[in-house]
Amino acid sequence: MDKGDMVPTPGVSSDTPGFDAVVVGAGPAGSAAALALARAGRSVVLVERGPFPGSKNVYGGVVYGRVLDEVVPEWWNEVPVERWVVRRSTMMMTGSQSVSVDYRSAAWGEVPYNGMTTLRSRFDNWLATKAVEAGAQLVTSTVATGLLRDAHGRIVGVRTDRDRGELRANVVVACDGVNSFLAKEAGLMPPAEASHHTLGVKEVLDLPGHVIDERFGLRRSEGVDIEMLGCTRGIPGGGFLYTNSDTVSLGVVLSLPHLAEAKVRPEELIADLKNHPSVAPYLRGATLREYAAHLIPEGGYDTMPTMVTDGMLVAGDAAAMTLAAGLWLEGVNFAIGSGLAAGRAVDRAIAAGDCSAKGLASYRSDLEGQFVLADHKRFRKAPALVLSERIQQRYPGLICDLVDGMFTVTNPVPKPGGVRLTRSVAAKHGVKLRQLAADTVRALKVFG
Amino acid sequence: MSAAGGVPGSGHEVPGGTWRGISFEDRMATVEFRVGERAHITVDSEVCRSCTTKACVTACPANLFAPTSGGGILFNYEECFECGTCYMVCNHEGAITWTYPDGGLGVVFHQG
């Protein structure tokens, strides 16, 4: 069996004395938890099922880095960044039109930056290496296959698929991703609910760096983030395009039950997007480097699992901590924030000699008091709004036709007035002005 | 394609500039899979025979599920992204059993 491509893998056996904590999953949440624990002087083993950290992970991808201030001072000097996002564009589109709201900031290209494009095989490995340097023991190519419980039913570690591979610990930190088998086994999460998940499919396309610079109006190390609405044949979701150093990441995110119902294959929607007249010119001549897919837990605050039980807590995607609130699309920052908080909570619980749910409860209150849960709570109604029928299927076309009506010169026919134009365009798209007003109020409430 | 752009190769464009020319095999050939001997997906085709939607067939991004003439489902676990779409869209309890491949095996993303 492969013992890990990038990080040395120590042996695992039942002879190994118990750890203070076993962290399952060396993604951003798990590595952050292991790092916090190791820095607190706790013994921690970090179990990763892939051959190296990041090998099972896919995202859009932008990481918002300020959460790393707590991890490494001046992290921007060493993080494996592709490009710093200085341009963020929201594109509303139909099959042949698009309207973009395009923001560009010089400040986003300077320390401490805002968002960065990076690839998970590099970023996750970098963060795991920080945990290892702090003293965590990383074990790759190892699946945590189930929970170990004592006679009272309390969780006391995990089983792995290694020979004699039981790992005993005071606390298990489950950072095992969107499908979290450990959270389900612990009874913290109901059975998988398709409606709380989206499928992300992505193509990474080779395109020389200087071509990316020219096509997107960038200087080296500057990047762009384009989010798209109205490009998924009515399936709730959206599209994205991010520039990396010498590649472009392009894909779509699709509501699972609606994708299933539509009987459309995901890669056909990517093909649609690549052929769109507003997107195709950016990609001319680009070749496919890697195709990928991953689920996203998009249900938001109200669909999060119970986060703490006796001897275990849950962080990152396993706790549904992605903010897919339309205008904001974040996840890695929440994973890191929740992982750090989990590590701190476990350290406090061990110090107090109480690793029960009660002893670990400070995890939740810590998260509520900072961005991790505060942001999710603020935008708890956003997923339902953003994925609603009018936002998804009617407004992109309505907005495109409004702009078309304003700027298409129809001589000798006189220009329509704004009110008449709005009325006729809304009617064409089956939207009543009353609904438009109600949705505006709702959006102000959800995002306000 | 413009030579001035300095882009090597002709991409996967077909004449007319569309992208539909990428075969699914070529698409999947860009992904590294370390295939294990144990199938981490199992399908109870008996259950599938009564399924009217067979949502897994179109939704699986790796196209691993195919309907058989007998109404069942033929599946392949070898080029699986391990995303979980199949069991989540499956509306028949117990039809698809899904676990992770053994440690170190399965998909290896380099550009995720």
B25 three-state secondary structure: helix
**Nearest by CB: B110 against A121, A275, A280:** A121
Q: To the nearest whole angstrom, how far is the Cα of A25 from the nearest Cα of chain B? A: 12
- Amino acid in position A14: S
Reply yes or no on whether the pLDDT at A409 is more than 50.
yes
pLDDT, position B73: 94
Whether A294 has its CB under 8 Å from any CB of chain B: the answer is: yes
Complex ipTM: 0.93
Place of tokens 């810590």: A366
Residue B55 lies in a domain: yes
Is a pLDDT exceeding 60 seen at residue A26?
Answer: yes
Assess contact for A174 and A25: CB atoms under 8 A.
yes
Write the CB contacts of A286 (distance below 8 Å, at least 6 apart in sequence). A205, A206, A207, A248, B7, B11
Question: Which residue, among B13, B18, B19, B23, would best test binding to A if mutated, counting the most A CBs under 10 Å from its CB?
Answer: B19
For residue A349, what is the enclosing H or E element?
helix A332-352
Rounded to an integer, what distance in angstroms lies between the CA atom of residue A297 and that of residue B88? 12
3-class DSSP assignment, residue A24? strand
Nearest-by-CA chain B residue for A254: B59
Mutation site for B-interface testing, chosen from A288, A296, A332 by largest number of B Cβ within 10 Å = A288
Boundaries of domain holding B49: 37-101
Q: CATH number of the domain at B44, please.
A: 3.30.70.20
Residue A279 contacts B where some CB pair is shorter than 8 Å: no
Determine the pLDDT at residue A87: 97
Give the pLDDT band of residue A128 (cuts 50, 70, 90): very high
Residue B75 lies in a domain: yes
> Does residue B72 belong to any structural domain of this protein?
yes
Is pLDDT of A8 > 50? Answer: no
Residue-range domain boundaries for chain A: 19-81+118-189+305-369, 85-115+195-297, 384-447
Neighbours of A55 (CB within 10 A): 28
CB contact under 8 A, B104 and A197: no
Going along A207-344, which residue ranges are E strands?
222-229, 237-243, 247-255, 287-297, 308-309, 312-314, 323-324, 329-330
What pLDDT, on a 0 to 100 scale, did the predictor assign at position B94? 80
For helices A28-39 and A120-133, the axis angle rounded to 10 degrees is 10
Assigned domain for B88 exists = yes
Under CATH, to which class is A85-115+195-297 assigned? Answer: alpha beta
Among A7, A24, A56, A282, pick the best mutation site for testing chain B contact (most B Cβ within 10 A).
A56
Q: Which residues of B touch A202 (CB under 8 A)?
A: 112
CA distance B32 to A303: 33
Q: Indicate if the pLDDT at residue A443 is higher than 70.
A: yes
Residue A433 C-alpha, separation from nearest chain B C-alpha, in angstroms = 36
For residue range A144-179, list pLDDT tens digits in order: 999 999 999 999 999 999 999 999 999 999 999 999
Residue A200, CA distances (Å) to A15, B59, B60 in order = 41, 11, 11
CB A376 within 8 A of CB A364: no
Q: What is the pLDDT of residue A365?
A: 96
A158: left (phi over 0), alpha (psi -120 to 50) or beta: beta
| B108 within domain boundaries | no
CATH architecture of A19-81+118-189+305-369: 3-Layer(bba) Sandwich (3.50)
Task: Name which of A307, A300, A314, A305 is nearest A30 in CA terms.
Answer: A314
Residue B107 lies in a domain: no
Cβ distance A293 to B99 less than 8 Å, yes or no, reads no
Q: Which of A140, A178, A287 sits opposite B9 (nearest CB)?
A: A287
CB contact under 8 A, B61 and A266: yes
Tens digits of residue pLDDT in B12-61: 544 444 455 689 999 999 999 999 999 999 999 999 999 999 999 999 99
Residue B93 confidence (pLDDT): 76
The predicted structure's pLDDT at residue B8: 38
Residues of B in contact with A294 (CB under 8 A): 81, 83, 112
Whether B110 is in a domain gets the answer no
Contact A45, A195 (CB under 8 A): no
* Over residues A232-250, mean pLDDT: 96
Give residues with Cβ within 8 angstroms of A346, minimum separation 6: A20, A21, A33, A37, A42, A170, A171, A173, A313, A355, A360
